[in-house]
Amino acid sequence: MGLKILKGIWFLSVIVVVVNALYVYASLPEHVVIQEEATGMTAIGRDPFFYGAISFIILTNALVFLIAKVFAHRPDFRTWFYGFMVVLNIFFVMSLSFISLYNSNEKFDYSRIDFAIYGSVALIVVWALAWPVYSLYRKFAVKS
């Protein structure tokens, strides 16, 4: 049951990531600043940034199909992996939105969105650590 629910949530998160990427692409300037230092800025074109981001997102989400075939006999791991992909998609949405905001012409206090960026990274870490903890729990709970 949990696997089916997380499959549906994963599918919706993929749609949200794609819509967000298209929205970000439309709002980006011709040259996207991805890093700013005291010595200068690192910028790439809008098209290479967009296609690179979409390619990375597609490859990452395609792992779901590989995991589904390789671990077909382990629905608990597949359930965790679908959840992990949802968490990664949340991070992708946050990251793309932040890059769009950073490259906009608006003045914005970036410290107001720290919790969203760091929260999505913390969510990735917590979800990634959940599988080993769950596996150890099942291993020792079955023995006792």
Q: What is the pLDDT of residues 85-142, one digit of tens each?
A: 999 999 999 999 999 998 988 887 877 888 888 999 999 999 999 999 988 888 888 7
Residue 44 phi/psi, 5-degree rounding, is -130, 165
pLDDT of residue 144: 59
Q: Measured between alpha carbons, how far is 25 from 73 in angstroms, rounded to an integer?
A: 40
Q: Are 28 and 50 in contact (CB under 8 A)?
A: yes
pLDDT of residue 107: 82
**Nearest residue to 92 (alpha-carbon basis) of 33, 15, 2:** 15
> Is residue 36 helix, strand or coil?
strand
Q: What is the pLDDT of residues 16-27, one digit of tens each?
A: 999 999 999 999
**Residues in Cβ contact with 103 at an 8 Å cutoff, skipping those fewer than 6 apart:** 28, 29, 32, 33
Tell me the whole-structure pTM to 2 decimals: 0.90
- Cα 132 to Cα 62, 126, 135: the distances in Å are 23, 11, 5
- Give the mean pLDDT of the chain: 92
